[in-house]
Structure 1
């Protein structure tokens, strides 16, 4: 597509070729609509891409987003995607030192093994029984809420009736999640493991009265109706490659290197002005779907943008020559790192890190969680690396809001990375640095991204991976039937900032497409 072709008309122009934009494009094109996707970068996929970040190294890593939970099988089936996920037999491992000796909590590997792990850590059965009750509750909620994500928004009362569990409704929707965590669990480490799902990408305290942490927790435990987080076979780019192929096969035009710069709306449609390296162009459409953030949408329509809700995470990608040995002799590193490996995520540690960051300082004991993709899916490694036993590590740090990097992003990144890896090293029998592979130039295979790096690379406002605070999955003031509507009737939001957005789900893309098809039928 050339920028000099003049104005062309489409049924739908989609701004942003991330996974949600591609989902919308595929649905609309398969329904016989003419679709143009405008993507600023030279490739589609947005934050759900796989790249080879290390020079001369054949390891294709999920560079930004990395696990799948919220993607409905319905979308995979409807679009005929060649995409699979693999489950992780170990859910999590959390190391800790108790009574002067290294130990930890391994969740997974079978019911009896999990029960024994709780008993080993806590010396009794109470915490394991509480764990079963707590996640039995979230599982019941997940089975009732997850199917609604691709339906028109229910009202609050409708969702409450559908859940049909007043204790669960109070714990998840009305009281700060810290109340439920403290009521269920007594052990600090167990409390922390439970709380982490409320803090991934969300800077909040367990008792934040806004309940932003509850909304984060809800989306982390309802995926697939089970709350399981699975490994995308081939890496996250396998999903967006499949989506792009489905959209193209259905007739959608995917124009990379095309940056939307303005949206002009009218009663009968809209026009999207864009620019490329070759010049400028305009595309007319009956509907415009915006996969970018609400802040970017406001800039495109000439409105006052909302204040960015800053991100609060550190993302680190690594390639190792081998997995490091653990100080805890009871756990095999291949099991510990195949699930979510929690570091410095005790309940009190999480509270202290939040308080320190809220006071304007990088946490002295930064919490993070880590997992090894290649243990579950070695296809992301070239045959030579896999044969030599190389492994990947993905690290996601918590409680590091964008404001902490504003003065000197590079220096703050290095300080935070060093202190984060030091916390991991405290639980290893050998330094992680001894296990890092090197690239073709002899540099360690490790890269770190702060919220400001994500804002620069992906235009995430303030580095927020959800584009803005997550929303409850029911009708609220200002939301429409599908949760994608905007103040402009012909413009819909199909990105993570839509109601029921966030995470790699495709849900906003599906719902925006359904809204368009309803209006045009």
Structure 2
């Protein structure tokens, strides 16, 4: 569990300062007062997140149950103001009504924009759906990190599957699914050739587009990805211009860069007009501070850290003209925004590999589509959905037009949050049928 929620550096009246959220109520209250000069924004923050916390407690348990109807979920929420704020009007309305400080507004809004290219007032409300999943996770909205990293989680799942009698066949690429509603056959390809395996049910942990390819159906139009992903290994954490905050605290939560409310609006408008944002917004996570086991003991002893940067408002269309050149241009300007708040260049802190090259890699939406088959480079596989039943969603949100083929990846209803919810729900759908 992360002790610090976030740190957002900013320059006010010519001096470096920032907002540290976390480390206890008194510490957070003082941080708001340091930034804003009073109590108003902190009190507004508390009221707003008390509201989202109540909603989280009521909605989160439904994610692993059959889909409720919209009316049933509204009754479960049992708070008309919260329902209006989260489900009916653009989240920008609540942000502007409840908060006055531009930086505080921006910090609140960022949860609506992760992997989602939208304005705060987008009438589609896709920004609201993104915000909702961020604030209801775990029933609290708090971000927990799996000890040992996601690889350890995968290993645990594999062990549990094998213990239950499953055979895990690596190096087998599924290339086709034939299903008649009661039985199915999967065609796969290996280095030795093709083969088939029969099954009663097929659970597909792939995008809706890839599922359509496998079943021979017409693929849906990909939803455009809109993020820059940067992975880094550092010899040490950089010093901050804001001397009142320890870098280990600042980087242990979400480190927001160029994410003031107006900055986010400007970046979106520039990208929507086909231009790279002049001040690209991004945020950084340092998972090795929360869980040092993701690094080798020798690197931990030497003070090495991992940094993951997630850039916002960079839709795939911006990279079409020259992916490599635009990637480099965007990476340079994104890191410049970070450097503006550091007391030393980030480049001086980067580790180097055996050939002396800095340990940094950047991935655009086009890279993610090519390397991971993410449709349109979209990290959610498609636009996030509301957590209630709509036409065609089925009972569990994992059903497809083939009764015994279920979608258990991020593109399922209630998927896209690195939660495992679609996998659970696909398994429940199968068990429910077997028990019928």
TM-score after normalising by structure 2: 0.98
Match of 1:470 among 358, 365, 384: 384
1:53-132 to 2 correspondences below 5 Å: 87-132=1-46
1:88-487 to 2 correspondences below 5 Å: 88-487=2-401
**SS at 1:107 equivalent:** strand
Instruction: Quote the residue 1:25 is aligned against.
Output: none
**SS at 1:255 equivalent:** coil
Considering only aligned residues, what root-mean-square deviation do their CA atoms show, in Å? Answer: 0.9
How much has 1:268 moved relative to structure 2?
2.4
How far apart, in 2, do the equivalents of 1:324 and 1:203 lie? 30
How has the CA–CA distance of structure 1 residues 93 and 267 changed in structure 2, closer, same or farther, with 3 Å as cutoff? closer
Instruction: Quote the residue 2:410 is aligned against.
Output: 496
Deviations 1:304-342 (A, max 9, x none): 111100111111111111111111111110100001000
How far apart, in 2, do the equivalents of 1:105 and 1:387 lie? 30
Number of residues of Structure 1 aligned to a counterpart in Structure 2: 435
How far apart, in 2, do the equivalents of 1:389 and 1:489 lie? 53
**SS at 2:201 equivalent:** strand
How far apart, in 2, do the equivalents of 1:190 and 1:110 lie? 18
Larger relative contact order (C-alpha < 8 A, sep ≥ 6)? 1
TM-score after normalising by structure 1: 0.83
Deviations 1:62-116 (A, max 9, x none): xxxxxxxxxxxxxxxxxxxxxxxxx111100000011111110000011011011
Gaps of 5+ in 2: none
Contact kept in structure 1, 2:181 and 2:402, CA below 8 Å: no
Shifted more, 228-237 versus 136-145: the winner is 228-237
How far apart, in 1, do the equivalents of 2:191 and 2:277 lie? 43
Instruction: Quote the residue 1:37 is aligned against.
Output: none
How much has 1:359 moved relative to structure 2?
1.0
Contact kept in structure 1, 2:114 and 2:130, CA below 8 Å: yes
Deviations 1:445-466 (A, max 9, x none): 1111111111112111011111
Deviations 1:144-195 (A, max 9, x none): 0111111111111111011100000000000000011111101100000000
Gaps of 5+ in 1: 1-86
Instruction: Quote the residue 1:81 is aligned against.
Output: none
How much has 1:483 moved relative to structure 2?
0.6
How much has 1:121 moved relative to structure 2?
0.5
How much has 1:242 moved relative to structure 2?
0.8
